[in-house]
Amino acid sequence: MSASAEPEKDAAAAAAAAEGDEDAEAKGSGSGWELLYCGGTSFDTMGRKVVGGAQGNLVSPTRLRPLMGVDIRFVGSGCTACHCVALDAEGRCYTWGRNEKGQLGHGDTLLRNLPTVVSQLSKYRIIKASVGRNHTVVVTDDGKSFSFGHNKHGQLGTGSLRNEIESSPVSCIVAEATNAVCGAEFTVWLSSVEGSSILTAGLPQYGQLGHGTDNEYNAKDSSVKLTYDPQPRPRAIATLSGKTVVKVACGTNHTVAVDSSGFVYTWGFGGYGRLGHREQKDEWQPRLVEIFQKHNVLPPNAIVSAGSASSACTAGGGQLYMWGKMKNTGDDWMYPKPVMDLSGWNIRCMASGNMHHVVGADDSCISWGVAQNGELGYGPNGQKSSANPKKVDILEGMHVTSVGCGYGLSLIVVDRANIGDRLDKLEIYDGDTTEVEEKVEVQATKKASASTNSRANKRKKTKDDSESEEEDDEDESGDDENGEIEEAKGRRGRKPSNRGRGRGAKKAAPETKPSGRGRGRPKKTESPAQKAGNSGGRGGKRGGKRGRPRK
């Protein structure tokens, strides 16, 4: 699976790479790039309740055996996805991870633990790729777009719902495509066609397609059950027909877009303030985010990112702004706020997962958020989650060129230039999860204690609760359920103190109840004891004891 080609093909690929603006940096270095992975490797159980919790996590950035020495130029995943996609400098497309809906594009539904070339795309040069919960969309250098995976809501953009699962690449009905980005069950394409620079297809439930409706209707005349009319044919967003959209990012059920003037628009599900409009209302059409106007429009090199319940972008001076649900506790950011911890950093790339974020800035890799499978890359002895941006120490001094995030996983591409043999010191993963478990156990036991083990067990329980949203891949209301789960979890967190008070209240009752249930007669002696007052209570008890032999 390593990249090997004839010299002529290498030269042609290099020439083609120089054409794309994304490859300008690549052309200059000439040293190649390496993909590193951290997070879960049990793709079939990630994000689902499993006995014993997740197994085989890679908690430090790790090299993947099939991609060692391969020049990976772009990685992508999705905030709800448990599968990954990577593109090399020659335009080959690699996929791996969960494959229950054929989302890897290999013509089957077999899980792949390691990157595998999508052979049916080998005659094309793939320049862009993105993944949803159960589907994948790619774009070629000549403007074609292909998709594969789940098509229940028309998210593959083929214009048809005939096949619910497409396990091999099929053509999307999009002309002159320049990019494609996936939400959980929908897809957004950017096109160079004038007046149709942004098109959408898929599930319209929260207005995330931007067409002014959620296509909601009653399943039957006599039923109150609601259903949503899928949109299998990509359709241009009419309200943006006069704009040229140049950047886009998708969360689970919301979309963030930037036009050529640097203005930011958001639409779709509004929970937790992820749309940045100071309210939680769903938006069925693109709505301008007020803060990014006048002197704070986005520059041409701005970064845009969206997580499950959050959004982010870099604005004037490269300052990173974020809004939405930042952590499981505390207030949500209802409008864009600057992330002061990253002020002054030159942020080149950013990706957001379910509740975690990864950034490539200067010569550092920075991550933060709520993690479940070691996706922050802090190592076996590092913290599991971080509320504030924190450097990934093992990658300090490395130049990160591309990042991708999924549900419990992170993908990081580093430049091999000027890092010597540091890559050789990283772990190598070759698909055997049992080996990973043993290594993690050995490293962790060096510093482990009984208290840390108990804390780990508590974290596992918390993880099982928080991950139940993804247990059913067919569930289309993940955002709402996620909110309910978090609230319920918060209530569960408060219950122990209530139970404590409950036990305290019960302590007084058992003193009388056992004697009452056991013999019955003390019930009669209780009322005279109570009449006698507090001081007579004990006497009543003694009298009861003296009275028993008389029977």
Enumerate the domain spans of the chain.
Answer: 7-252+348-447, 253-347, 477-544
Q: In sequence order, which residues have a C-beta less than 8 Å from that of residue 519 and are 6 or more positions away? A: 548
pLDDT value for 433: 59
Rounded-to-integer distance, Cα 264 and Cα 287, Å: 8
- Structure-token pair, residue 65: 């055996």
Cα–Cα distance, 346 to 462 (Å, whole number): 35
368 touches 390 (CB < 8 A): yes
Output the six-digit token pair for 487: 């609230």
Pull the structure tokens for residue 250: 């998708």
d(CA 241, CA 238): 5
Three-state DSSP at 255 gives strand
Token output for 298: 């986005």
Instruction: Round to whole Å and give the CA distance between 176 and 181.
Output: 15
**CA 365 – CA 398 distance, rounded (Å):** 8
**Burial of residue 452, with CB atoms counted within 10 A of its CB: 0-12 exposed, 13-18 middle, 19 or more buried:** exposed
| Chain length of the chain | 551
Q: Please, is 43 exposed, middle or buried when counting C-beta atoms within 10 Å of its C-beta (0-12, 13-18, 19+)?
A: buried
- Element containing residue 93 per DSSP (H, E): strand 93-97
> For 409, phi and psi rounded to 5 degrees?
-150, 155
Query: Among candidates 377, 375, 369, 409, which has minimal Cα distance to 396?
Result: 377
State how far the Cα of 384 lies from the Cα of 375, in Å rounded to an integer. Answer: 9
pLDDT at 53: 61
Cα–Cα distance list, 331 to 180, 324, 334, 483 (Å): 32, 9, 9, 13
Q: How many other C-beta atoms are found inside a 10 Å radius of the C-beta of residue 53?
A: 19
Task: Give the other-Cβ count within 10 Å of 528's Cβ.
Answer: 12
3-state secondary structure of 310: strand
Q: What's the first-to-final CA gap in the chain, in angstroms?
A: 91
Q: Contact 453/459 with Cβ under 8 angstroms? A: no
CA atoms lying within 13 Å on the CB side of residue 58: 26
Report residue 283 as tokens: 């938006």
| Listed residue (84, 83, 86) closest to 67, CA to CA | 86
Give me the residue label for tokens 């027909």: 241
What are the start-end ranges of the H helices in 271-348? none
Q: Which two tokens stand for residue 448?
A: 């482990």
The token pair that represents 485 in the structure block: 């789960």
Q: Which helix (H) or strand (E) holds 459?
A: helix 450-466
Say which residues have a Cβ less than 8 Å from residue 197's Cβ, sequence separation at least 6. 190, 191, 236, 240, 243, 244, 245, 246
CA distance 362 to 352: 19
Top-level class of domain 7-252+348-447: mainly beta
pLDDT of residue 77: 78
pLDDT at 548: 54
Other CB atoms within a 10 A radius of the CB of residue 24 amount to 11
What is the strand order of the sheet 283-288 is part of? 245-250, 254-259, 264-268, 283-288
In this structure, are residues 136 and 104 in contact, taking their beta carbons and an 8 Å threshold? yes
| Angle at 48 (CA atoms; ends 46, 49), nearest 5 degrees | 125
Q: What parts of the chain have a pLDDT lower than 50? A: 1-30, 436-452, 460-516, 518-519, 523-545, 551
Q: Which two tokens stand for residue 226?
A: 């609601």
Classify each residue of 364-373 as buried b or exposed e, where b means 16 or more C-beta atoms within 10 Å of its C-beta: bbbbbbbbbb
Name the β-bridge partners of 241.
none
